[in-house]
Amino acid sequence: ILNVEQSPQSLHVQEGDSTNFTCSFPSSNFYALHWYRWETAKSPEALFVMTLNGDEKKKGRISATLNTKEGYSYLYIKGSQPEDSATYLCALYGGSQGNLIFGKGTKLSVKP
Amino acid sequence: DVKVTQSSRYLVKRTGEKVFLECVQDMDHENMFWYRQDPGLGLRLIYFSYDVKMKEKGDIPEGYSVSREKKERFSLILESASTNQTSMYLCASSFTGAGANVLTFGAGSRLTVL
């Protein structure tokens, strides 16, 4: 059974702090790596889809990197804001239609 | 602008009742999914469907069934609800092929079984 690990499980930061968290996955079963943001009372929304080793994607203050050889991805948030408070999910896509394996998420709380 | 709609945000049912959770998407996606989310366990796949009348078991299908009679609609059925099925249920859809199966989620249905 494929296992996707996310760390830390939760994170509390002050507004303005920069932060990062990790997604680890088995490098032998890689097709794509997804990051989703799930705000309370809303639907999870896709942030990034990463497919190539060395990929780096950016959306505003949020960026992500990918290392498929060692099986990890980092998500960075620069200058965290209260509206960044959410659970961040990563998911490994193994290439078949139903095969999207989610990690348990990192819950980020940003205090004003 | 809602693209994946789940019929009920909150439901309270009694043990043994039959429960239907409905999901409709307006993006003409081939694939549809039902997940449940529980604290400390993350999102777990119950069933998915890649075409009308097709269904595949996910990681935790026991106690559930699904129906996909039309492309846009995917229903999750709890034949006899039990308390351990109290959870948040998320429906999602995606295209096949290019895009690496990026999911569009509904808002979720929080089911409580008493």
Q: Which residue of A has its CA nearest to B47?
A: A98
Which residues of chain B neighbour A44 with C-beta distances below 8 Å? 90, 103, 105
The helix/strand/coil state of A70 is coil
- CB–CB contact A45 B105 (8 Å): yes
H-only helix segments in B3-108: none
Mean pLDDT by groups of 10 residues along chain B of 114 residues? 87 96 94 92 91 92 96 96 97 77 92 97
- Counting as low any pLDDT under 70, the low residues of chain A are 1, 95-98
The CA distance from A71 to A92, in Å, is: 10
Q: Does residue B98 contact residue B73 with C-beta atoms inside 8 Å?
A: no
